[in-house]
């Protein structure tokens, strides 16, 4: 079986070069005589892997010196609890912008811990746009504002960040992390589950402004305490060592391939091919407000269940897999992360054109 074009939203496609490098080092890493999986997390070899991953990430995103980089576990979803526990403790208040299911889940979880309000929402139009906000939309005594930077399920993204003044902005960038440059200095915290654009499931990368640490709720489970994780350089307990190693290989791959400016260029080129076709197709329709379209997750519909099933099935038979939309929204979704080659998108569009000709 040849490798397919995998349009899965996550766990998702990874660069072949990276997988091959990992395969070549699988049983014997460097001079260690063992696999990274078999290595102590306190060994010199692993320490080097962790430090290189951190310094490459810092370089890729130009992370300022007053931010810590953490490798955490529990998925992005564990941070939905950890964020209020760590940060909602001065006034016990936070505002959330609800742009999709992930934001909503984070919002509902945070409500357990304090006075949490939805400052804006795009639920009225099935999350097909990013609601515009001004500073006035936020209460002035809140501990933070929370957003989802890229909405994996609905295919929207923030192109202009909400103006929160001095209030820390916390953002879930799970599905677009490292797809383009991001000005970390505008955030109190940015985090991302690795399995969308960075590596295997099991690692969450968190970048946190140092002065926000150390103010956690007394009941915060120790594993969710960001200050403890920071003080221990993500080694409070055994971290997801192999996942960190893989993320490190992806960071190195990004650096070798021109960094995030170059990645953005490539991602825009890929997304435009797909959106241009969708905007002109007589069969397929894009679902997202033009100015808010994600570069990573592209949902589209035909509007006929039978035809959609047929499309997904025939696509699969032709090597374009995982195009089914999220179970809650139906239709189709092509996730075209960093590792999806231009050729994969070009061939998908060719296939869609052919399907359109045969079925209109
Ligand atoms: C996938 C995803 C999540 C959930 O990630 P888990 O690691 O499964 O908890 C949260 N937020 C966004 C934006 C996602 O894309």
Write down the catalytic residue from 95, 143, 172, 292: 172
Q: Is 233 left (phi over 0), alpha (psi -120 to 50) or beta?
A: left
DSSP reduced 3-state for 360? coil
Catalytic, 264? Answer no
- Average model confidence (pLDDT) for the chain? 97
Our answer on whether the CB atom of 324 is closer than 6 Å to any ligand 1 atom is no
54 vs 38, 206, 249, 251, CA distance in Å? 21, 11, 11, 9
Q: Would you list the domain boundaries of the chain?
A: 16-256, 258-359
Tell me what the mean pLDDT of segment 153-171 comes to.
97
How many beta carbons lie within 10 A of that of residue 158, not counting itself?
A: 19
Strands 115-121 and 332-335: unpaired
Residue 329 pLDDT > 90, yes or no?
no
Ligand 1 center from residue 106 Cα (angstroms): 10
Query: For position 1, what pLDDT does the model report?
Result: 83
According to CATH, the topology of domain 258-359 is 3.90.1150
Return the residue whose CA atom lies nearest to atom 3 of ligand 1.
Answer: 76
Q: DSSP letter string over 53-108?
A: HHHHHHHHHT--TTEEEEEE-SHHHHHHHHHHHHH--SSSEEEEEE-SHHHHHHHH
- CB of 154 within 6 A of ligand 1: the answer is no
- As to burial, measured by CB atoms within 10 angstroms (0-12 exposed, 13-18 middle, 19+ buried), residue 94 is buried
What was the pLDDT predicted at 147? 98
Centroid of ligand 1 to alpha carbon of 108 (angstroms): 15
Query: Hey, whose CA ends up nearest to atom 12 of ligand 1?
Result: 174
- Active-site residue, selected from the candidate residues 56, 95, 102, 157: 102
Cβ-Cβ contacts under 8 Å for 130 (sequence gap 6 or more) = 99, 122, 156, 157, 158, 159, 289, 292
CA-nearest residue for atom 4, ligand 1, is 76
Cβ 75 under 6 angstroms from ligand 1: yes
CA of residue 195 to ligand 1 center, whole Å: 8
Q: Which of 10, 73, 76 to mutate to test the pocket of ligand 1 (most atoms within 8 A of CB)?
A: 76
Cβ atoms of residues 41 and 235 within 8 Å? yes
Structure pTM? 0.98
Residue 253 designated active-site: no
Asked if 172 is an active-site residue, the reply is yes
Q: Which CATH number fits domain 16-256: 3.40.190.10, 3.40.50.2300, 3.40.640.10, 1.10.340.30?
A: 3.40.640.10
Each residue's pLDDT tens digit, 287-300:
999 999 999 999 99
**Residue 353 C-alpha to ligand 1 middle, in angstroms?**
32
152 confidence band (pLDDT: 50, 70, 90): very high
Nearest to 180 by CA among 76, 72, 62, 278: 62
In this predicted structure, what is the pLDDT of residue 360?
86
Q: Write out pLDDT tens, residues 135-145.
A: 999 999 999 99
pLDDT at 328: 79
Residue 327 is predicted with a pLDDT of 81
146 CB less than 6 Å from ligand 1?
no
Question: Are 37 and 242 contacting, i.e. CB atoms less than 8 angstroms apart?
Answer: yes
Integer Cα distance of 93 and 114 in angstroms: 6
């Amino acid at each position: 079986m040849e490798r397919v074009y995998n349009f899965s939203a996550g766990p998702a496609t990874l660069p072949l070069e990276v997988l091959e490098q990992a395969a070549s080092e699988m049983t014997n890493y460097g001079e260690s005589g063992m696999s990274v999986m078999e290595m102590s997390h306190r060994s010199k070899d692993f320490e080097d892997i962790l430090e290189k991953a951190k310094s490459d990430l810092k370089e890729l995103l130009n992370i300022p010196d007053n931010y810590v980089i953490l490798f955490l576990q529990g998925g992005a979803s564990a941070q939905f609890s950890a964020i209020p526990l760590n940060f909602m403790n001065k006034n016990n208040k936070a505002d959330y912008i609800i742009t999709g299911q992930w934001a909503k889940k984070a919002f509902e979880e945070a409500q357990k811990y304090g006075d949490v309000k939805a400052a804006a929402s795009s639920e009225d139009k099935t999350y097909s746009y990013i609601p515009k906000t001004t500073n006035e939309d936020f209460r002035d005594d809140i501990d933070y504002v929370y957003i989802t930077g890229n909405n994996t399920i609905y295919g929207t993204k923030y192109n202009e960040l909400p103006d929160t003044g001095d209030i820390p902005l916390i953002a879930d960038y799970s599905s677009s992390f490292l797809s383009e440059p991001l000005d970390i200095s505008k955030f109190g915290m940015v985090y991302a589950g690795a399995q969308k654009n960075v590596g295997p499931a099991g690692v969450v990368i968190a970048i946190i402004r140092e002065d926000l640490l150390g103010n956690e709720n007394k009941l915060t489970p120790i594993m969710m305490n960001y200050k403890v994780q920071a003080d221990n350089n993500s080694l409070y307990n055994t971290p997801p060592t192999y996942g960190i190693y893989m993320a490190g290989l992806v960071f190195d791959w990004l650096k070798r391939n021109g960094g995030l400016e170059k990645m953005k260029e490539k991602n825009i080129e890929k997304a435009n091919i797909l959106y241009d076709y969708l905007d002109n197709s007589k069969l397929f329709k894009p679902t997202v407000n033009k100015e808010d379209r994600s570069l990573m997750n592209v949902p589209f519909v035909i509007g006929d269940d039978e035809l959609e099933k047929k499309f997904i099935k025939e696509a699969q038979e032709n090597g374009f897999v995982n195009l089914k939309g999220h179970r809650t929204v139906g239709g189709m979704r092509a996730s075209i992360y960093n590792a999806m080659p231009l050729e994969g998108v070009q061939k998908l569009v060719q296939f869609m054109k052919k399907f359109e000709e045969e079925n209109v």
